[in-house]
A and B are shown apart, each in its own frame.
Chain A
Amino acid sequence: MSESMTCICCPLGCRIHIEKKGEKTQITGHRCKKGEEYALQEIRDPRRILTTTVPIDNGMLCLLPVKSNKEIPKNLVKACVIELSKISVNAPIKCGDLVCKNILGTEVDIIASRDMEER
């Protein structure tokens, strides 16, 4: 198995290549230790912070921006957004309030990323 990716650790943006031959993983193209760690993390367990919105009733605006309090597995980002489309909350909300606990069993919580006053 082989894979290529662009490193995002610094503006150099090295093109890193990863070759997997059985147990052995060979990483080339990086220029520093950080790049190697980034590549390993990206092939073993790539994770992202999720940000989206959920509908809010009785708020100043109709949507509340939310985010995951930790990174979630990259392949669950879309599924989490779909899960969150089923949720709605009520104003008032404070920045940091819990919106969805342990989303899709990831042990990551979804929290509000701003205050929302009542209409």
Chain B
Amino acid sequence: MWGKQNAYWVTNMMETDVTVIGGGPAGLAAALKASENAQVILLERGRELGGILPQCIHQGFGNFVFKKMLTGPEFSQYFIDKVRQSDIVVKTETTVLEIDKNKRIIATNSAEGILEIQTKAIVLSMGCRERTRSQILVPGTRPAGVYTAGTSQRLINIDGIMPGKKFVILGSGDVGLIMARRFILEGGEVEGVYEIMPQPGGLTRNIVQCLDDYNIPLFLSHTVTDIVGRKRVEGVTVAKVDESMKPLVGTERFIPCDCLVLAVGLIPENELSKQIGLDMDGRTDGPVVDERMETSVSGIFACGNVVHVHDLVDDVAVVAEIAGEHAAKYVRENLERRGKIRTVAGENVGYVVPQFLRGKELDSVTLYFRVLSEKRGATVIISCGEKTIFERKEKIVKPPEMVKVILSREVLNALVQNELRVDVRGGK
């Protein structure tokens, strides 16, 4: 039959309470939590659940949620097992084509054709994707052998394919650092990691255990200015950059290599969010959310890297449970939307999530934010009008490490103004 939108010939119609879009760590945790009190459908584009975790075979996940260090596959296995034991309807290899504000979802897979799902609440958990060569405009020819770090990770850890012999890595994001070690252990050679910023993009732990352990040099304030090669990468030119990140003439150096790996950042994947017409935050590239992870459209929630890129999957699991819990709650009793308090990014703060607060359900609210520049001995100050409601001295703050502040219900209830300002003042 023709679907209600008349744009698709719908072969299967379904109804449910909560539909979760994306089966990575955010979607898994949200679906599980929602399923405690609601009927849940989980839609995943890929062949299996887990999102990026099955290819992140290294250790370093779960320190907060499980109080032990797990690998990516182990972390996702826990949630996948739980989902299998639950009554969540899981559809893998299923792509969502459209969502409208009335919460009608059009999705497709090869077994069922076109599905129309009428749902009462939605959790968006599509995650993020990597920035590619064309988004950072690296000059040069277009040969084979230019990969994003995540693609090279998938090739090596899932498909068993070595993407090159001699690697140059552009960008020092965590996946790039992790892959530097992986290339070496799989018999490759890594000439160096080149980072355009004056400080590394990844966590210190990864700089030490992935680069220093294997004597891989890290060149800060450097970038790739040319890619050479006709069919296959034959080499790249690197150069130093000045403070405005412009390459400095005379500092160019040619490096023969057959593979250039890009670890130059992640972008939340929000095509569906934009299509629905959700209010977006230009600084996070994600939808604006309140402390219950509800977006600007009531009954549509978002969590994980689709909202903003997290450093740790543990944080994702925590906010995803909040999203799942409130999606189920919305289905039963609707969520109250009282006065709206905006969170504002002040001095040395790039963004604050959630962007606004408007409920009374949570016992405490965690604010997540990133600083713009590294400071030692700075003070985090959260204020409402003239009144300081929270103050904490930080040994160090840096852009790659998200800062968290927990505000108690007592503090929040005492707020009189409708603006909560986050500043990171002082420090060197």
Contact partner, B209, options A48, A55, A67, A78, Cβ 8 Å: A48
Among residues 67 to 84 in chain B, which have CB atoms less than 8 Å away from a CB atom of chain A?
69-74, 76-77
A6 touches B77 (CB 8 A): no
Among residues 141 to 197 in chain B, which have CB atoms less than 8 Å away from a CB atom of chain A?
156-160, 184-186
CB within 8 Å for A6 and B208 given contacts A48-B213, A77-B185: yes
A62 CB-CB contact with B under 8 Å: yes
A65 CB-CB contact with B under 8 Å: yes
Among residues 354 to 379 in chain B, which have CB atoms less than 8 Å away from a CB atom of chain A?
376
* Chain B, residue nearest A117 (CB): B48
Q: How far apart are the CA atoms of A61 and B401 in the complex, in Å?
A: 34
Return chain A residues, CB-CB under 8 Å to B159. Answer: 62-63
A8 touches B205 (CB 8 A): yes
Main secondary structure of the interface of B (DSSP, over half): helix
A51 touches B395 (CB 8 A): no
A5 touches B208 (CB 8 A): yes
Give the total of A residues in contact with B, Cβ under 8 Å.
27
Return chain A residues, CB-CB under 8 Å to B396. Answer: 11-13
B54 CB-CB contact with A under 8 Å: yes
* Chain B, residue nearest A56 (CB): B160
CB within 8 Å for A65 and B71 given contacts A8-B204, A53-B57: yes
Contact partner, B185, options A65, A78, A113, Cβ 8 Å: A78
B213 touches A51 (CB 8 A): no
Query: A101 to chain B: closest CB distance in Å?
Result: 19
Q: How far apart are the CA atoms of A38 and B89 in the complex, in Å?
A: 47
B213 touches A53 (CB 8 A): no
Listed from nearest, the 7 A-B pairs whose CB atoms lie closest are A114-B73, A65-B57, A13-B204, A113-B71, A8-B205, A49-B59, A113-B73
* Interface CB pairs A-B, < 8 A, 5: A12-B396, A67-B71, A95-B74, A113-B57, A114-B73
Residues of B within 8 A of A (CB): 48, 54, 57-59, 69-74, 76-77, 156-160, 184-186, 204-205, 207-209, 212-213, 376, 395-396, 398, 401
Residues of A within 8 A of B (CB): 5-6, 8, 10-13, 48-49, 51-53, 55, 60-63, 65, 67, 74, 77-78, 81, 95, 113-115
**Knowing that A65-B54, A78-B185 are A-B contacts, what are 10 other residue pairs whose CB atoms are under 8 Å apart, sorted by A's residue number?**
A11-B204, A11-B401, A13-B396, A49-B69, A65-B57, A67-B71, A113-B70, A113-B77, A114-B54, A114-B76
